[in-house]
């Protein structure tokens, strides 16, 4: 909802929902594994479409379900450890198209 419109005399004026207001629907996501410093493995979820707040909320949900830590950087969700199979099953249950990619 647009919060900066106070009054309009236009009778045909409609407030159209923006992309920020829409409910997250099926998305095509790719799940990567990456080896970081000291041999640590990170699961990376790429391809998320939405705003930063939605991305952080979804990342928090995934981290809680996997029981690990992580962060959000460059519109990607980084999850600590090799939890690719768990992440793929969680995303598929939520109606997303999640496919393993890379190493």
pLDDT of residue 66: 93
Rounded-to-integer distance, Cα 42 and Cα 63, Å: 12
The whole-number mean pLDDT for each consecutive block of 10 residues of the chain, a chain of 103 residues, reads 64 65 70 92 92 91 94 94 93 91 74
Rounded-to-integer distance, Cα 59 and Cα 56, Å: 5
pLDDT of residue 69: 95
Question: Domain-by-domain residue ranges, the chain?
Answer: 28-100
Helix axes 84-93, 52-66, angle to 10 degrees: 120
pLDDT of residue 16: 66
Class of domain 28-100: alpha beta
pLDDT of residue 5: 58
pLDDT of residue 32: 95
């Amino acid at each position: 909802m647009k919060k900066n419109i106070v009054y309009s005399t236009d009778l045909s004026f409609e407030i159209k929902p923006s992309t920020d207001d829409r409910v997250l629907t099926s998305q095509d996501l790719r799940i990567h594994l990456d080896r970081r410093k000291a041999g640590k493995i990170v699961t990376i979820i790429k391809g998320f479409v939405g705003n930063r707040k939605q991305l952080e909320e979804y990342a928090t949900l995934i981290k809680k379900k996997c029981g690990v830590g992580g962060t959000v950087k460059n519109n990607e969700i980084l999850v600590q450890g090799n939890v690719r199979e768990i992440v793929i099953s969680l995303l598929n249950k939520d109606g997303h198209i999640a496919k393993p990619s890379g190493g």
